[in-house]
Structure 1
């Protein structure tokens, strides 16, 4: 199976010495992890529009 490249956009929000991140669990291992907000850019979508959409979806 051939892998595909997924274009993503992320948003790094910093407030003094803190970062705003998304918390999730790995569905396979159950391990807790953190990542910047963002996601996959849809066809024809601008990176900034992707970040705005993802912020709406994840908040």
Structure 2
């Protein structure tokens, strides 16, 4: 877990299949709101965001990535679980090496102590506002 007042650097992977994207589901207990975010995680000291992206997908869902292209950077100021957060997000477009990931309905994985779910979601459901994508600027890359 990160310390209060810390700016975190994350590497996130945008994976698409047709009109759907592979996304992680989260829940904010204070806002009582479900939200969705691209998969990935924190960049460790001495590691590039490119390396962190590959490591996080490997650790969380045992997936290898290919066709990795850098898309851009988003600075994200947010509140989660009643606490202020600040992140620098390095965004990459990528594909799964193993085709089995494209067949999955959903996938439950552990992130630290928490159980999380990743699933394929129609991009139109984020664009219409039916589902909440965080940060909202991520929509520009979809």
Q: TM-score range by the shorter chain?
A: 0.7 to 0.9
RMSD (Å), alpha carbons: 1.8
Larger Rg over CA atoms: 2
* Unmatched runs of 5 consecutive residues or more in structure 2: 62-142
User: Deviation at 1:30?
Assistant: 3.9
Question: Structure 1 stretches (4+) deviating beyond 6 angstroms?
Answer: none
> What's the secondary structure of 1:53's corresponding residue?
helix
Aligned partners of 2:27 and 2:17: how far apart in 1? 24
> 1:30 and 1:53, CA in 2 relative to 1: closer, same or farther beyond 3 A?
farther
Aligned partners of 1:30 and 1:57: how far apart in 2? 28
Alignment partner, residue 30 of structure 2: 28
Question: Which shows bigger deviation, 39-48 or 49-58?
Answer: 49-58
**TM-score of the aligned structures, taking structure 1 as reference length:** 0.77
Greater fraction of residues in strand:
2
Aligned pair count reads 58
> What's the secondary structure of 1:8's corresponding residue?
strand
**Map 1:1-59 → 2, pairs under 5 A:** 3-59=5-61
Deviation sequence 1:3-36 (CA, Å, 0-9, x none): 3321111100011110000112224344211100
Aligned partners of 1:3 and 1:23: how far apart in 2? 25
> 1:29 and 1:57, CA in 2 relative to 1: closer, same or farther beyond 3 A?
farther
